């Protein structure tokens, strides 16, 4: 790892509650052992002594948990960890340095006078005083322990990173496959619609095919990207709807309830278009009367965004809420891969209206890196 990798590893390690719980348990265990072995401490009425003992124990536990893995992980290149020889050479001086600082601070807290630390404080004789270098030498064992445990923690961290990296790569491959699947699906549905127009109005059909050819290139570019923006999605949908309206004419009225402040927010490519396409195909097209297609985007509490498509066309079949077609199934799979349980896709009815709604977080951390 390089310096940035160490920084990310430390942040991730510090966010884990298990790490803090382990450090707390180790600290309490050592304190219990010290007080049981040196019951003289229980008779002291000195907060300074108690603070000093807690300071050295917690410092060692914290250092072993968070600091000792770092020299094992630093390789200076793309490798996730240093080799055994380099790791050992880096760990020994590093652990000596932070332990010396911890021991020195504790010495200053516990020392009674110029003679040093009274022996009874650390299990020695009443008339004994521990000098600074005697106290520092007592940390040699902790240097060895920190070096060994640091290596074990580093190995565990590297295994976790490698596993997460492999899962991320697999998810990216699957996500790319799902996005690529969308382009021919959209093209197929649009061509089917334009085929109906060829006999009725050849000029409109020709214009629609030319527009679709241009739009399809935009689809290919968009599906090759990791993310787009809500604004890009809106622009693409407007172009796609202009093609659909060549054949639908006055049978569909499009209404936009759109919060322009959301346009810059990053989202997966083609997150809303499948909902619009589904409404046109199953709601507007089979319905012989004029209908309304309403496209909605807004922010709701808890830092979430709602993208919703409503149509007043053909009523939703009950089976459609349980069995989705390629477009919605594809979209649902992509949302789960990217957001997990933080996103939802729902298909429902409200009176004579059919509603398709997506709820997602307004920020995805991985896209800010």
The pLDDT tens digits of the residues spanning 291-316 come to 999 999 999 988 899 999 999 988 88
pLDDT beyond 60 at 322 = no
d(CA 205, CA 201): 6
CATH number at residue 297: 3.30.565.10
Regarding whether 84 and 177 lie in a shared domain, the answer is no
d(CA 284, CA 251): 8
Regarding whether 358 and 299 lie in a shared domain, the answer is yes
> What digits encode the pLDDT tens for the residues 184-228?
555 666 666 666 666 667 777 777 777 777 777 777 777 777 788
pLDDT for 254 equals 93
pLDDT for 312 equals 92
Range with lowest mean pLDDT among 92-106, 112-126, 256-270: 112-126
192 in any annotated domain: yes
324 in any annotated domain: yes
162 in any annotated domain: no
pLDDT for 171 equals 58
What average pLDDT is seen over the chain?
80
pLDDT for 167 equals 62
Domain holding 256, by residue range, is 170-368
d(CA 57, CA 28): 9
Regarding whether 306 and 174 lie in a shared domain, the answer is yes
Supply the Cα-derived Rg of the chain in whole angstroms. Answer: 32
Cα–Cα–Cα angle for 338, 342, 347, rounded to 5 degrees: 95
341-348 long-range Cβ contacts below 8 angstroms, 24+ apart: 347/316, 347/320, 347/321, 348/316, 348/321
Per the structure, the count of domains in the chain is: 2
The larger pLDDT score, comparing residue 8 to residue 64, is at: 64
Where a domain ends, among 116, 138, 160? 138
Regarding whether 192 and 83 lie in a shared domain, the answer is no
Q: Between the ranges 5-19, 35-49, 88-102, 210-224, where is the mean pLDDT highest?
A: 88-102
Regarding whether 329 and 214 lie in a shared domain, the answer is yes
What letter does residue 45 receive in the DSSP assignment?
A: -
pLDDT for 258 equals 93
144 in any annotated domain: no
The larger pLDDT score, comparing residue 9 to residue 137, is at: 137
Regarding whether 214 and 360 lie in a shared domain, the answer is yes
Q: Collapsing DSSP states into helix, strand and coil, what is residue 255?
A: strand
Regarding whether 177 and 85 lie in a shared domain, the answer is no
pLDDT beyond 60 at 229 = yes
pLDDT for 230 equals 92
Regarding whether 189 and 313 lie in a shared domain, the answer is yes
Regarding whether 176 and 127 lie in a shared domain, the answer is no
Average pLDDT value for residue range 101-108: 89
297 in any annotated domain: yes
Regarding whether 311 and 241 lie in a shared domain, the answer is yes
155 in any annotated domain: no
The larger pLDDT score, comparing residue 122 to residue 298, is at: 298
Average pLDDT value for residue range 259-286: 88
d(CA 353, CA 283): 9
What are the start-end ranges of the E strands in the chain? 117-118, 129-130, 228-229, 252-258, 266-267, 291-300, 304-311, 344-350, 353-361
145 in any annotated domain: no
Average pLDDT value for residue range 168-177: 60
Regarding whether 313 and 179 lie in a shared domain, the answer is yes
pLDDT beyond 70 at 28 = yes
Strand partners, 347: 356
d(CA 221, CA 131): 71
148 in any annotated domain: no
Regarding whether 175 and 116 lie in a shared domain, the answer is no
pLDDT beyond 50 at 369 = no
The tokens of 161 are what?
Answer: 């990173």
The larger pLDDT score, comparing residue 362 to residue 369, is at: 362
């Amino acid at each position: 790892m390089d310096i940035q990798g160490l920084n990310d590893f430390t942040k991730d390690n510090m966010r884990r509650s298990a790490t803090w719980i382990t450090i707390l348990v180790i600290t309490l265990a050592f304190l219990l052992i010290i007080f049981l072995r040196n019951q003289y401490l229980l008779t002291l009425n000195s907060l300074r002594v108690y603070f000093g003992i807690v300071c050295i124990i917690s410092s060692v536990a914290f250092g072993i948990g968070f600091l000792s893995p770092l020299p094992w992980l630093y390789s200076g290149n793309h490798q996730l960890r240093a080799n055994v020889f380099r790791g050992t050479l880096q760990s020994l001086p590093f652990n000596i340095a932070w332990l010396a600082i911890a021991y020195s601070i504790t010495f200053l807290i516990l020392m009674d006078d110029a003679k040093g630390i009274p022996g009874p404080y650390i299990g020695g004789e009443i008339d004994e005083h521990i000098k600074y270098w005697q106290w520092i030498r007592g940390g040699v064992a902790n240097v060895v322990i920190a070096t060994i445990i640091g290596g074990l923690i580093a190995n565990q961290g590297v295994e976790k990173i490698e596993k997460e990296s492999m899962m991320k790569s697999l998810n990216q491959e699957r996500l790319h496959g799902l996005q690529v699947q969308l382009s021919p699906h959209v093209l197929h549905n649009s061509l089917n619609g334009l085929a109906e127009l060829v006999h009725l109005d050849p000029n409109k059909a020709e214009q629609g095919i030319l527009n679709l050819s241009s739009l399809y290139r935009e689809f290919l570019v968009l599906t090759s990207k990791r993310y787009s923006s809500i604004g890009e999605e809106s622009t693409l949908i407007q172009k796609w709807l202009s093609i659909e309206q060549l054949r639908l004419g006055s049978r569909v009225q499009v209404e936009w309830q759109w919060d322009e402040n959301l346009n810059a927010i990053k989202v997966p490519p083609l997150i809303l278009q499948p909902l619009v396409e589904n409404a046109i195909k199953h709601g507007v097209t089979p319905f012989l009367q004029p209908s309304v297609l309403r496209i909605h985007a807004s922010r709701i509490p808890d830092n979430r965004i709602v993208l919703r498509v409503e149509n007043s066309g053909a009523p939703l079949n009950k089976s459609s809420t349980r069995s989705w077609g390629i477009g919605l199934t594809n979209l649902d799979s992509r949302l789960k891969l990217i957001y997990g349980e933080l996103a939802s896709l729902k298909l429902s009815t409200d009176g004579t209206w059919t509603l398709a709604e997506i709820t997602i977080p307004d920020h995805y951390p991985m896209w800010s890196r």
